[in-house]
Structures are given as C-alpha cells and as structure tokens.
C-alpha cells in the first residue's frame, strides 16, 4: 500500500499536511510559518490604514471633491491629446476618442487659446488648482 501522493515524497506530504492541519481541524491557522499569517481585520471604527504625513486621502487644499473627479475625467479623455492644444484641437480629439458628452461640453465651453496640459484646461474651467505645501 502506498502512502501519500504519487507526485510528492513522504517529507513533502508531511509538510503539506502540517500546513493544512489548521484548516482541516477548523480552528487554527493554515500556515506553518508565522510570517505567512494574514493580518487581523481592524475593529469597526478603528482606522485600518495609516498614512505618512502629507499623504492622507482626501481632497487637496484649493480644490473640491467634485473638482478632483472632473479633473480626473478630463485627464482620462484628454491626456493623450497632442499638447499644446487649442480649443479646436481638443474638440476634435474628444470627437475622435468618443469622449462622453459632459467632457465634450466642457471642452466646448473653453476660451479660445492654447493649453499646455490638462491642468491648464481644468484651471480655465474654474475647477480649482491644488495648492502644494513645500
């Protein structure tokens, strides 16, 4: 009578058995090494992640959450345009990439001038500009 699997030797079979023993018994860990243990979930209301100073989530100073969302959408559809670009160039680009009507309407409302990047487009639309603290 053969012991264990045909693919592994007795030593590897014993090691795998040891690693899954907690799962089989239903109460303990499934890993043999402590460093493989999953971290415990935070209790409700407890902060689950810490961020280094200046890198906390949220909206940057000088811009609203809506401004962040709209700028993100603009960047999604305009980032691959050929910069610097005029209002007309950007309108053609939005038509070419089949951008949503909201983005095309924003581009149509831009003043007639050349823009160096998406940030200048957002500023011209009055979306606010984040202020950096150095």
Reported as a single tens digit per residue, the pLDDT across 25-55 is 665 555 556 666 666 776 776 655 666 666 6
- Res 96: pLDDT: 92
Confidence of residue 109 (pLDDT cuts 50, 70, 90): very high
- Res 132: pLDDT: 59
Predicted TM-score of the model (pTM): 0.52
pLDDT higher than 90, residue 88:
yes
Pick 98 or 19 by higher pLDDT.
98
**CA–CA separation, 77 vs 134, rounded Å?**
30
**CA–CA separation, 129 vs 122, rounded Å?**
8
Do the Cβ atoms of 34 and 28 come closer than 8 Å?
no
Structure tokens at 69: 């969302």
Most confident region among 8-22, 44-58, 90-104 by mean pLDDT = 90-104
- DSSP letters, 62-96, are TS-HHHHHHHHHHHHHHTTS-SSEEHHHHHHHHHH
């Amino acid at each position: 009578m053969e012991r264990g699997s045909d693919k592994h030797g007795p030593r590897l079979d014993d090691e795998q058995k040891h690693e899954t023993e907690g799962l089989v018994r239903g109460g303990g860990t499934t890993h043999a090494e402590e460093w493989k243990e999953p971290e415990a979930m935070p209790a409700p209301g407890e902060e689950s992640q810490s961020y280094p100073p200046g890198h906390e989530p949220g909206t940057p100073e000088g811009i609203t959450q809506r401004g962040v969302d709209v700028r993100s959408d603009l960047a999604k559809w305009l980032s691959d345009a050929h910069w610097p670009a005029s209002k007309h160039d950007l309108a053609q680009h939005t038509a070419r990439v089949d951008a949503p009507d909201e983005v095309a309407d924003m581009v149509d409302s831009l003043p007639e001038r050349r823009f160096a990047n998406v940030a200048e487009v957002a500023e011209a639309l009055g979306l606010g500009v984040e202020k950096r603290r150095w």
